[in-house]
Amino acid sequence: MQNKKTRRLAAPIGIGAVVGVTLLGGVPAQAAPVTTTFGTACLATPSTSLAGPEAQSQPGSVVVDAPAKVNAGEEFEVTFQPGTISFPGSASIATISNISRIKVDVDLPANATYLGADIVPGTSVGLSGVAPNILRVNENGAVDAAGTILRLSGNNQVIGNSPTSSASSEGGIVVAKTGKNVDGSANADGYTQFQLPKVKARLKAADSGTIDMKIRTGGNAGKWNDDKNFLTFVPKASAPFVGTVWAPTKCSPRDAADGNAPLNNGAGPLASIAITAADKATTTNVVGPAAAKNGTPVTLTANVVPGVGGGTVLFKDGDAPLGNPVAVTGGSASITQTFTTDGDHSITAEFSGTTGFLASTSAVKVVKVTTDAPPDVATSTTVTAPANAKVGQDVNLTAKVGPAGSGGTVNFVVDDGAPVPGMVGTDGIAVAPYTFTTAGTHKVVAKFSGTTGFTPSVSPAFPVSVTTPAPADVDTTTTLAAVGTAEKNVPVVLKATVDPANAKGTVQFKIGDALIGGPVAVVDGVATLSTTFVNSGTFNVTAEFTGSTGFTSSAAAPQTLTVPGATDPGNGGTGSLDSLFGSSQ
């Protein structure tokens, strides 16, 4: 802790009080205190014409004790305390009786919300006058709940930059001359020591960035000899033939006691607190069959939301682990399990957590294991689109398999030609790209392959009327940007590109056979739509361009969308847009 002596600044009166201030923190179990040493330059201006203004510079330092880092949105504390200050009992022929109206200003840091500050009781020595307090003030020094400055003072009674200021009277915090040290012992040089109180400030971190702790130097506070300087006070003295003399003193961080000297490193951050993103909560869900045959392998999958990449999942049957932890990739982890005992098995999945994500444990999924396999569920398949097409036009063949969520593949067969496969999504919709090469009525049949627990099925033939496009129409192609994995309830942007770029028309985005929003105008060959998916599963997403006069229509090949989380086959959303996604143009 520093013990800076106030030096004589002016003759013959000799009024001067330059103080080196040390701000000391006391927050335990945090980062080591950061000490910044810098010159502090002050100007004292006596109230008598017998002595002109006198300047002085001496080393000073500030120590801030604060966390090295905090999580986004975390509340934390910074504790600081001005160090021991001393002043002489006399200067030349003048006798100093006290100093008063002491204030220290600190900038409220950006990237943090101020929650309040308290004076720590019992941490000051030698003070009288108005009890010290911490006020939040604005640039004009007025108390303001939206102010950007924290002021340690005696209820804002200071020499300037306050509605209750005076440079020629006692007020605020007063320290009378005693000639004693802060421990009560006599000072050999006749100096008086005092200690301003410790201050504990409470802050809340913003979402990102760095929180810099600084003394007040912005704007006029960084100018030479300004009432807004971070440290100000007024000594009171008496001298023969003059009487009472006041010497208001203003200090700023400069290496030289000169108004032309620039601010030094004391105007920079005295401590920096890094904001780190708080670990996100996760939800883990187990996906697998509700029933299994004893001795027959089944697949159990854990989906972790958000779709993290990292960490492991440990599957358990009751309290018994099912093998070793499995690495999570793309938000999922799977095992193949063979149950050897009949009965209900309570399956859970424990996600270990990973960098930036908290651990989570799934709800119990019951798998009923029997010696005899449950009968396969019968399915039905129907072709739903398109009813019309043009020769050479890219279209999408669409089929619906019921019940939804059965998985597997649909092979589309056009006029007994080669099968064109399409994945069956969680909503029971399969989509495959196709281009008709001849005019006429073509018959499309959709053949569902069947999957574990579900029977195959074949749709009735569906007629598609194919005509020849107008000769003058410009052919188009549409491409949908890959959608990949999208987190539930987190907005994503769908993007379709139409070639040529000058094509006029609209794009309709679809998930399975359900429309996502309304048609979107194509601008410079691009159409985009922001949407939010609210159901988990795997789906086919497409984009269909409807050309204006002079341009053919075209459809993009389907892209696979995965939304991690437990699937809900009974609410695939094929009949309700609200249940599947929300969108906005």
Tokens of 470: 């107008």
Phi-psi region of 14 (alpha: psi -120 to 50; beta: other; left: phi over 0): left
String of DSSP letters for 476-525:
-EEEEPP-EE--TT--EEEEEEEESTT--EEEEEEETTEEEEEEEE-BTT
**3-state SS string for 435-485:** ECCCCEEEEEEEEECCECCECCEECCCEEEEEECCCCCCECCEEEECCCEE
- Partnered with residue 2 across adjacent β-strands are none
3-class secondary structure, 220: helix
Distance of CA 132 to the CA centre of its chain: 37
Matching CATH number, 34-255+271-276, of 1.10.101.10, 3.40.50.150, 2.40.30.10, 2.60.40.2270: 2.60.40.2270
Q: What is the CATH number of domain 283-370?
A: 2.60.40.10
Q: Do domains 283-370 and 380-584 have the same CATH topology?
A: yes
Enter the pTM of the model.
0.55
Fold of the CATH domain 380-584:
Immunoglobulin-like (2.60.40)
Residue 324: exposed, middle, or buried by beta-carbon count in 10 A (0-12, 13-18, 19+)?
Answer: exposed
How confident is the prediction along the chain (585 residues), in pLDDT tens digits per residue? Answer: 333 322 222 222 333 433 333 333 333 334 456 667 788 898 989 888 777 788 888 777 777 888 989 988 999 999 887 777 888 887 667 788 999 999 999 999 999 999 999 998 999 999 999 999 999 999 999 999 999 999 999 999 999 999 999 999 999 999 999 999 999 999 998 999 998 898 999 999 998 899 998 999 999 999 999 999 999 999 998 888 888 999 999 999 999 988 899 999 889 988 889 998 878 889 898 988 888 889 989 889 898 888 788 999 999 999 999 999 999 987 889 999 999 999 999 999 999 999 888 999 999 999 999 887 667 788 999 998 798 999 999 999 999 998 876 678 999 999 989 999 999 998 999 999 999 999 999 999 999 988 877 889 999 999 999 999 999 999 999 999 998 888 888 899 999 999 999 999 999 999 999 999 999 999 999 999 999 988 888 899 999 999 999 999 999 999 999 888 655 443 333 333 333 334 343
Q: For the chain, give me the number of helices (H) and strands (E)?
A: 1, 48
Task: Report CA torsion sign: 430, 435, 441, 443.
Answer: negative
The domain spans of the chain are 34-255+271-276, 283-370, 380-584
* Run of H or E residues at 347: strand 343-351
Residue 294: how many CB atoms within 10 A of its CB?
Answer: 15
